[in-house]
């Protein structure tokens, strides 16, 4: 084979490799984009369906109250990197299915610095997530606490009466609502949360009253 033939084959191989590399880069970029999009899409899907114990959201309180009672137990935990105390004010309440109720979780910043946290949540049994509806909740936004500040953070909710029509869920007598707070490190979100938080939690002036 002549030198010109060998050079032509090398040029063709290089162009082929370049096209392959470009194609792989486009594929990787597309996969990265889909992975970022998948998180919010998955969250929206869970909130709309109650999948994996995720509670649903509503713009308005329930309009129907039944005569059947159901209990809701509250659970709270903390990430190890957030120096807060966090617990429900009441561990358990009983309400009518469809009744609008308000519950409070008490948080205290145990540190000497301002800290911002974000809460994740779920309910058990998981099937109850389709019928546990939140109207307002501290978990919808980040929460900022000043050093040693104590706040009561509200969640407004009801149990959808449709649970009584579900053969797999209508025998449920108790639902557990669980929250876990994690530390937020995004300064812009923290400032926005601080402004928003002033209109939500109720500050407890005397920390000793947290009992």
Per-residue pLDDT tens digits for 92-122: 999 999 999 999 999 999 999 999 999 999 9
Highest mean pLDDT: which of 36-50, 140-154, 185-199?
140-154
What pLDDT score does 18 carry?
Answer: 60
Residue 64 neighbours by CB distance under 10 Å: 11
Cα separation of 91 and 176, whole Å? Answer: 10
> Same domain for 146 and 63?
yes
Q: Which of 37-41, 71-75, 125-129, 144-148 has the lowest mean pLDDT?
A: 37-41
25 and 121: one domain? no
- Do residue 45 and residue 61 come from a single domain? no
| Number of folded domains that form the chain | 2
- Tell me, what CATH number does 184's domain have? 2.60.370.10
Asked if the model's pLDDT at residue 134 lies above 60, the reply is yes
Compute the distance between CA of residue 129 and CA of residue 160 in angstroms, rounded to an integer. Answer: 10
pLDDT, mean over the chain: 77
Task: Decide which of 155 and 58 is more confident.
Answer: 155
Q: Select the more confidently predicted residue: 1 or 95.
A: 95
Q: Which of 2-11, 117-126, 142-151, 200-209 has the lowest mean pLDDT?
A: 200-209
Considering the domain architecture, whether residues 201 and 171 belong to the same structural domain is answered as yes
**38 and 60 both lie in a single domain:** no
Domain membership of residue 178 as a residue range? 56-210
Last residue of a domain, one of 49, 64, 83: 49
Give the sheet arrangement for strand 143-145, strand by strand: 92-96, 69-78, 174-183, 115-124, 143-145
Say whether pLDDT at 35 is over 60.
Answer: no
């Amino acid at each position: 084979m002549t030198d010109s033939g060998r050079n032509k084959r090398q040029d063709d191989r290089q162009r082929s490799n370049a096209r392959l590399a470009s194609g792989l880069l486009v594929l990787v970029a597309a996969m990265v984009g889909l992975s970022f999009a998948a998180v919010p899409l998955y969250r929206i899907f869970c909130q709309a369906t109650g999948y994996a114990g995720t509670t649903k959201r509503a713009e308005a309180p329930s309009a129907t109250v039944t005569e059947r009672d159901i209990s809701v137990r509250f659970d709270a935990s903390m990430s190890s990197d957030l120096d807060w105390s966090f617990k429900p004010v009441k561990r358990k309440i009983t309400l009518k299915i469809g009744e609008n109720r308000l519950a409070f979780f008490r948080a205290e910043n145990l540190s000497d610095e301002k800290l911002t946290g974000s809460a994740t949540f779920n309910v058990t049994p998981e099937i109850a997530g389709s019928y546990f509806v939140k109207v307002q909740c501290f978990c919808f936004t980040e929460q900022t606490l000043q050093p040693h500040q104590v706040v009561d953070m509200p969640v407004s909710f009801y149990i959808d009466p449709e649970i009584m029509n579900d053969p797999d869920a209508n025998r449920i007598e108790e639902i557990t609502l669980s929250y876990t707070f994690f530390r937020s490190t995004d300064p812009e979100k923290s400032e926005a949360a601080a402004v928003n938080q002033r209109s939500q939690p109720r500050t407890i002036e005397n920390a000793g009253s947290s009992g």
